[in-house]
């Protein structure tokens, strides 16, 4: 099992993760939480409060749209869907993330290996 | 967690963010609990775990609710704005669809709003606008007056002495106070003599107002610097040609007093009076130049105006209270000059100070403003009538929109928006035109401090009036668009031409006639009053009289004065066409003149009776030159060689103070019971000496003779047997080579003075006449519209009548009669309104009135206008072809 990742590392990327969760189609909040947990192999421990606050903020910015619908168990649930501006946002963030990871990686990986190992 | 019933009910009335958040989170927690229970946890443990995993539930609910509420509000605004924008877009399209109508409506509204706003902008600058200085709300004007001699509030606003000012400014109630005094100056620059309006001011004047000099420093109170002066930016730019080395430049003031320019006032400095001041000098300098060493010491010399700045937290009332204490102490210390002297403090709220606010200013302003309000109402009613007619023509279109699902309220709102857009377009036009007003005023030579300015207040007023106009006069037409049988509109094509439907239009056109009658009647009364004043016998002979006012540029000096008067008499009497010459302190109808206390032995004064009576000082032959007959006794002539001062009183004065006693030969005392004794030598007829409008007041003349060197003033009266205009050139010529350097400041015929003394009355009555004419034209257009409309609706009936043998003349009579009936209703209402208005204006109209001729006059005008307005519809009615009228059915 992968080591648990501390909150401070992914706080800024929570939005990106939520957007990514919606790429496959509309989900309700619990579904997003479960998906994040499952996809990260339980390495990410997202507090539900933070998740919902982020969702509502993104709804206000117009990145996601919300609509009430029925869940698989026929209960009323609020479903979130990516808007086109949300999709654009996700694209930008993925590109930025790749560049970020590459840059950080280039610095941190040699340090981890260390010259003594060379 | 189920949603409480009340929340579900609320949800029916639109989005409820709090309920949504609650429901969403409840769903989440239920799902989580269910999953954990399925994994074998107890329900309680699962619930605890779910809550733990959620984190701060309270805070999340709060945050998400807030976001939701914000969104709902935003969406609501966006929707609202969207529908308003839609209405505006629709309104603009409608305006383009009827360009002629749009232009006519915009022009009519602009007329009403423009006239009203223009007058408002004048009132704004004169009465409403605060002084253009630092923290104007702290400034007060400080007056002193004779406490026992107050006839009305206006008498409070007298000047102060410089010595009193120095004592008054010490109060802790004032942060400081400045003194200023009028001074007229000439400067010679490059051989050109310019007259400047100057002010003698205390050294702290600019600092008190918080308006530092543009350049330079002015500290006249420092030793050796008293002859330093400040000029206005305007004088620097024009008179001194923007001389870059002006600081330190020496100017010769009034021909012989060198002063040094050490500063230029700020270009935007407008002062605290409705005058354009060109030069500022110190009291020390003025004292030396005028040659009166007592100017700053003598407490009886009260020509200083005082402006103060209140200390923090002090009101004008409490400052007056504090100053009253100081004034009482001064009265005890200097009883000769200050006994019973009281002080009044008033906020310096506008550029026109209290003492210049004549008794007629406010009523006159109110009258003109009221007239423009009536004009505004007339243009409003006019536009409302046209809008109403157009709305009726559009009923089919509106009915279609309703049947397509637009709510009636929405239609009303949209029609109202159309009317508002029209009115605001007119408002924009008005603002554009008003922007020309300041340069127009500048062209007319209005002092910069009272030029109308288009500031935020005026702009706001114009927009508010236009918007109010659009709403008030747009409501009825807007409701007319939906309050009718819409199904019928769809059926018959919308245009229902039945006279019974025109009731609203009838009411509008009748009120328009009534209001224009009101304006016409008032303007007719004002013009008649003006005419009467012009023909009033002023009590002296106006024709063939010339008035020349001279001024000693060096200030008052008794010897020079006597030399000049003697010279003027000699030179002018030598002119061939001149029959008589005299001098006086003032010519008739040129100002308020002086008042001076007189003691009349034998007359029992009431306790505290005001014995300050209007007076003039004159030389010999004064009344002869004016052509005023002496009823008893005589006046001084050149033959009187003695130096005694003699008094001539007028008829009213004799009646008031001597009663049945003989005044001639009695002795009065000038200046009070212990004043100089003077014999009354004659009684002259009453004359309207100060204004044409007022009834003759008691008045007396103090006459100097040749023995005392002839003084009495510098207004020279010259009577000629020829043409007074020609005489003026001769007077100018005779007085140009002049050993005594007096300046001729005014030269005019008495006829011109009489004419211009009525300038304000004339301007007011002409303005109202123009408004009245515009109003009756608008009313005629309205009448034409409604009569055409009704006539068109009855064309079938007329066709039938013609077919049955009616003559065209009888049809004409029918239509004209209809128009005249409407006009008669409006006319009678207007006459009643007008009579009420005239009663309110009684004080401004001279003489007693019979209103019948005025009423008859405007009645005739109304009939003529009505016949004119109905002629075309009447003619059209007679040309209806009976056959086609019957076919149309």
Q: What is the 3-state secondary structure (H, E, C) of B182-248?
A: EEEEEEEECCEEEEEEEEEECCCHHHHHCCCCCEECCCCCCCCCCCEEEECHHHHHCCCCCCCCCCC
Q: How many CB pairs below 8 Å do chains A and B form together?
A: 56
Instruction: Provide the pairing of β-strand B594-599 with B279-281.
Output: unpaired
Please state whether B253 falls in left (phi above 0), alpha (psi between -120 and 50) or beta: beta
Please tell me the distance from the alpha carbon of residue B674 to that of residue B655, in angstroms, as a whole number. Answer: 24
Q: Of the given ranges (B147-156, B390-399, B756-765, B805-814), which has the lowest mean pLDDT? A: B147-156
Cα B47 from Cα B45, distance rounded (Å): 5
Is-above-0.80 flag for pTM? no
Instruction: Give chain B positions within 8 Å (CB) of A50.
Output: 55, 60
Please answer yes or no on whether B53 and A48 come within 8 Å at the CB atom.
yes
Residue among B24, B59, B71 whose CB faces A29 most closely:
B24
- The confidence score (pLDDT) of residue B478 equals 79
Cα four-point dihedral sign B559, B561, B567, B573: negative
- Nearest Cα neighbor of B408 from B461, B462, B340, B485 is B485
Q: Which of B130, B254, B256 is nearest to B194 (CA)?
A: B254
Chain mean pLDDT for chain B = 83
Q: What is the dihedral of CA B831, B834, B835, B839, to 10 degrees?
A: 180
pLDDT at B369 over 80: yes
pLDDT (average), residues B603-632: 86
Pairwise CB contact (< 8 Å): B67 & A60: yes
Q: Determine whether the interchain pair A56/B68 forms a contact, defined as Cβ–Cβ distance below 8 Å.
A: yes
- Strand B174-189 to strand A76-82: parallel, antiparallel, or no bridges (unpaired)? unpaired
Q: Which pLDDT belongs to residue B499? A: 47
For B30, which residue in chain A has the nearest alpha carbon? Answer: A30
CA gap B527, B845 in Å, rounded: 10
Longest dimension (CA), chain A: 61
Tokens 């005044």 correspond to B663
Query: Is the minimum CB–CB distance between A72 and chain B shorter than 8 Å?
Result: no
Burial category of B278 from C-beta neighbours within 10 Å (exposed 0-12, middle 13-18, buried 19 and up)? buried
Q: In this model, does residue B14 exceed pLDDT 80?
A: no
Determine whether A71 is exposed, middle or buried from the number of CB atoms within 10 Å of its CB (0-12, 13-18, 19+).
middle
Identify the pLDDT of residue B566: 82
CB B64 to CB A33 under 8 A? no
- From B440's Cα to the closest Cα of chain A, the distance in A is 54
Please indicate if any CB of chain B lies within 8 Å of the CB of A78. yes
User: Is A47 in contact with B28 (Cβ distance < 8 A)?
Assistant: no
Q: Which residue has the higher pLDDT, B839 or B151?
A: B839
8-state DSSP, B131: P
Determine what percent of chain B is predicted with pLDDT higher than 70. Answer: 91
Residue A20 and residue A90 in contact, taking contact as beta carbons nearer than 8 Å: yes
Nearest to B618 by CA among B589, B654, B647: B647
Q: Quick: pLDDT tens for B741-785.
A: 677 777 888 888 888 777 777 888 888 888 888 888 888 888 887
Query: What pLDDT does B483 receive?
Result: 61
Please tell me the predicted confidence (pLDDT) of residue B5: 54
Q: What is the pLDDT of residue A117?
A: 44
CA atoms within 13 A on the CB side of B802: 21
> Do B32 and A30 make contact, defined as CB atoms within 8 angstroms?
yes
Using DSSP's 3-state secondary structure scheme, residue A22 falls into coil
Nearest-Cα distance to chain B for A5, in Å, is 16
Contact, B560 vs B740, CB < 8 A?
A: yes
A59 and chain B in contact, CB less than 8 A = yes
Which pLDDT belongs to residue B135? 93
Mean of pLDDT values over B221-226: 87
Nearest-CB residue to B23 (from A50, A52, A76): A76
CB distance from A50 to chain B under 8 Å? Answer: yes
| pLDDT band, residue B497 (cuts 50/70/90) | very low
Span B725-729, mean pLDDT? 84
The H-or-E segment that residue B527 falls in is helix B503-535
Q: How confident is the model at residue B822 (pLDDT cuts 50, 70, 90)?
A: confident
Chain B residues lying within 8 Å of A32, measured CB to CB: none
pLDDT for position B650: 92
Q: What is the pLDDT of residue B317?
A: 93
- pLDDT at residue number A1: 39
Q: Where are the alpha helices (DSSP H) in B540-616?
A: 558-573
Chain A residues close to B64, C-beta within 8 Å: 52-53, 56
The pLDDT of residue B200 is 92
Angle value at C-alpha B836, between B833 and B841, nearest 5 degrees: 125
Residues in chain A closer than 8 A to B60 (CB atoms):
48-50, 52-53
pLDDT over 90 percentage in chain B: 24
Residue B251, H or E segment: strand B250-253
Stretches where chain A sits below pLDDT 50 are 1-3, 116-118
The CA-CA-CA angle for residues B29, B30, B35, to 5°, reads 100
Mean pLDDT of B647-654: 93
Counting Cα atoms < 13 Å in the Cβ hemisphere of B226 gives 10
CA dihedral over B748, B750, B752, B756, signed as positive or negative: positive
Instruction: State whether the Cα torsion B143-B145-B150-B151 is positive or negative.
Output: negative
Using CA atoms, how far apart are residues B174 and B150, in angstroms rounded to an integer?
Answer: 26
Give tens-digit pLDDT for B504-543: 778 888 888 898 888 888 888 888 888 887 777 888 988 8
pLDDT value at position A63? 93
| pLDDT at A5 (0 to 100) | 55
Residue B557: pLDDT band with limits 50, 70, 90: low
């Amino acid at each position: 099992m992968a080591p648990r990742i501390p909150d401070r590392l992914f706080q800024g990327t929570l939005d990106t993760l939520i957007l990514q969760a919606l790429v496959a189609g509309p989900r309700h909040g619990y579904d997003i939480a479960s998906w994040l947990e499952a996809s990260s192999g339980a390495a990410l421990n997202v507090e539900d409060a933070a998740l919902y606050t982020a969702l509502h903020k993104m709804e206000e910015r117009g990145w996601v749209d919300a609509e009430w619908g029925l869940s698989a168990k026929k209960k009323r649930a609020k479903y979130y869907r990516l808007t086109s501006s949300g999709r654009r946002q996700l694209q930008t963030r993925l590109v930025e993330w790749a560049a970020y990871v590459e840059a950080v990686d280039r610095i941190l990986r040699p340090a981890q290996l260390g010259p003594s190992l060379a | 967690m189920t949603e409480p019933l009340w929340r579900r009910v609320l949800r029916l009335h639109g989005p409820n963010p709090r309920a949504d958040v609650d429901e969403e989170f409840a769903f989440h927690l239920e799902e989580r609990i269910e999953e954990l229970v399925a994994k074998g946890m107890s329900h309680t443990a699962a619930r605890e775990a779910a809550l733990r995993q959620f984190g701060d539930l309270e805070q999340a609910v709060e945050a998400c609710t807030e976001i939701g509420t914000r969104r709902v509000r935003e969406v609501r605004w966006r929707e609202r704005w969207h529908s308003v924008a839609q209405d505006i877009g629709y309104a603009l399209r409608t305006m383009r669809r009827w360009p002629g109508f749009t232009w006519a409506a915009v022009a009519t509204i602009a007329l009403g709003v423009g006239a009203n706003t223009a007058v408002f902008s004048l009132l704004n600058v004169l009465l409403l606008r605060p002084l253009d200085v630092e923290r104007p709300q702290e400034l007060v004007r400080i007056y002193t007056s004779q406490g026992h001699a107050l006839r009305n509030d206006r008498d409070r606003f007298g000047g102060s002495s410089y010595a009193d000012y120095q004592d008054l400014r010490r109060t802790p109630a004032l942060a400081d106070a400045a003194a200023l005094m009028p001074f007229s100056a000439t400067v010679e620059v490059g051989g050109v003599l310019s007259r400047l309006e100057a002010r003698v001011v205390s050294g702290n004047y600019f600092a008190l107002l918080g308006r530092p000099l543009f350049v330079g420093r002015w500290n006249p109170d420092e030793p050796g610097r008293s002859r330093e002066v400040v000029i206005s930016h305007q004088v620097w730019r024009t008179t001194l040609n923007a001389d870059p080395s002006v600081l330190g430049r020496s100017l010769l003031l009034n021909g012989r007093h060198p002063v040094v320019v050490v500063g230029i006032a700020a270009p935007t400095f407008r002062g605290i009076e409705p005058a354009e001041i060109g030069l500022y000098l110190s009291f020390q300098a003025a004292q030396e130049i005028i040659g009166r060493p007592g100017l700053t010491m003598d407490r009886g010399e009260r020509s200083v105006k005082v402006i103060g700045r209140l200390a923090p937290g002090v009101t004008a009332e409490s400052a007056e209270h504090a100053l009253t204490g100081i004034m009482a102490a001064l009265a005890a210390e200097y009883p000769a000059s200050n006994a019973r002297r009281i002080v009044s403090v008033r906020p310096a709220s506008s550029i026109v100070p209290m003492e210049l606010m004549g008794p007629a200013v406010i009523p006159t302003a109110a009258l003109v403003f009221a007239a423009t309000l009536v004009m505004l109402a007339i243009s409003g009613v006019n536009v409302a009538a046209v809008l109403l007619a157009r709305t009726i023509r559009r009923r089919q279109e509106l009915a279609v929109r309703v049947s397509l699902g637009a709510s009636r309220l929405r239609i009303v709102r949209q029609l109202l928006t159309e009317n508002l857009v029209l009115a605001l377009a007119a408002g924009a036009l008005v603002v554009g035109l008003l922007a020309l007003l300041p340069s127009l005023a500048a062209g007319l030579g209005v002092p910069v401090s009272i030029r109308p300015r288009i500031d935020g207040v005026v702009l706001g007023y114009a927009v508010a009036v236009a918007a109010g106009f659009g709403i008030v006069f747009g409501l009825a037409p807007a409701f007319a668009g939906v309050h009718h049988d819409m199904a019928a509109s769809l059926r018959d094509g919308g245009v229902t031409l039945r006279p019974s439907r025109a009731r609203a239009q009838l009411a509008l056109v009748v009120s328009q006639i009534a209001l224009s009658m009101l304006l016409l009647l008032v303007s007719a009364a004002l013009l008649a009053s003006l005419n009467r004043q012009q023909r009033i016998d002023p009590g002296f002979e106006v024709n063939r009289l010339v008035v020349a006012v001279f001024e000693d540029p060096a200030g008052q000096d008794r010897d020079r004065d006597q030399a000049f008067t003697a010279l003027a008499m000699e030179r002018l009497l030598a002119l061939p066409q001149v029959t008589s010459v005299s001098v006086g302190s003032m010519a008739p109808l040129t100002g308020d003149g002086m008042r001076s206390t007189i003691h009349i032995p034998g007359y029992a004064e009431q306790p505290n009776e005001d014995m300050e009576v209007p007076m003039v000082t004159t030389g010999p032959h004064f009344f002869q030159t004016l052509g005023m007959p002496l009823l008893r006794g005589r006046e001084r002539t050149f033959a009187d060689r003695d130096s005694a001062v003699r008094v001539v009183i007028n008829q009213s004065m004799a009646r008031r103070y001597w009663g049945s006693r003989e005044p001639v030969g009695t002795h009065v005392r000038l200046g009070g019971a212990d004043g100089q004794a003077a014999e009354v030598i004659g009684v002259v007829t009453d004359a309207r000496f100060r204004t044409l409008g007022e009834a003759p007041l008691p008045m007396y003349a103090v006459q100097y003779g040749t023995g005392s060197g002839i003084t009495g003033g510098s207004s020279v009266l010259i009577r000629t047997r020829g043409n007074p205009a020609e005489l003026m050139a001769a007077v100018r010529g005779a007085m140009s080579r002049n050993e005594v350097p007096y300046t001729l400041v005014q030269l005019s015929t008495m006829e011109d003075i009489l004419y211009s003394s009525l300038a304000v009355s004339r301007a007011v009555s002409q303005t109202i006449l123009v408004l009245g004419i515009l109003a009756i034209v608008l009313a005629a257009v309205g009448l034409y519209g409604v009569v055409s409309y009704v006539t068109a609706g009855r064309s079938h009936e007329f066709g039938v009548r013609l077919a049955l043998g009616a003559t065209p003349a009888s049809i004409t009579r029918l239509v004209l009669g209809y128009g005249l009936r409407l006009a008669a209703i409006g006319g009678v209402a207007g006459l009643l309104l007008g009579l009420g208005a005239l009663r309110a204006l009684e004080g401004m109209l001279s003489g007693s009135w019979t209103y019948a001729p005025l009423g008859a006059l405007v009645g005739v005008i109304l009939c003529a206008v009505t016949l004119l307005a109905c002629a075309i519809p009447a003619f059209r009615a007679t040309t209806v072809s009976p056959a086609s009228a019957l076919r149309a059915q």
